[in-house]
Chain A
Amino acid sequence: MYIPIKEIVLLIASMGILLASYRLWVMKDGKNMVYARIHIASVIDLACILIMLILNRPLLALLYLVLSPFAAHAIANADYYDRMKEKLTRKLRG
């Protein structure tokens, strides 16, 4: 019996991308929303890595698997220090 594993995994990855994109689209702004957005974006990242692995592109998948956490950390770190600076400026002004 033939089970189309590649097709099933591709379907699941596509559904993940669709659901994550929907949440990313409807989410309103609020406190600490940048971290939530990075979290949702990483779901799409991993789904894309899975799609690349299924389509026989392991070099691209591995490269993005290495680079993606660095980018997410850089964004979160920059956002944190940006907000800290804003808070400090507001405090100094009184």
Chain B
Amino acid sequence: MNEYILYFTMFALIVGALSSLKLSFHRSTSNVLIGEGLMAIVVATFLVVVSQKFNIPFGETVALFIIVAGPVGTIAFSTVMKKR
């Protein structure tokens, strides 16, 4: 795999993370939830790319945890928000 392509992917993921961070500081709760869910998947993918590039063995495990915890947290908070 060409390393410059991986660097470009990492750059795109960082831009995506910044964009979702901006959404996370929004006023309404729904936008915050969208930003949080997006941030989880972007960070997990970034970990996968970094562990592929630099041969980090535990990167995939941390990414698995983030991928499970992100959407489950979003669903749980949405349920709380609906019942409120």
Contacts and interface: CB of A to CB of B under 8 A. Distances in A.
Interface in A37-72: 37-38, 41, 44-45, 48, 51-52, 55, 57, 59-60, 63-64, 67-68, 70-72
A94 interface: no
Interface residues of B: mostly helix, strand, loop or mixed?
helix
5 contacts: A4-B2, A59-B64, A64-B41, A67-B67, A75-B30
B23 A37 contact: yes
Interface in A1-55: 4, 6-7, 10-11, 13-15, 17-18, 20-22, 24-25, 34, 37-38, 41, 44-45, 48, 51-52, 55
Interface residues of B, number: 45
Contacts, number: 131
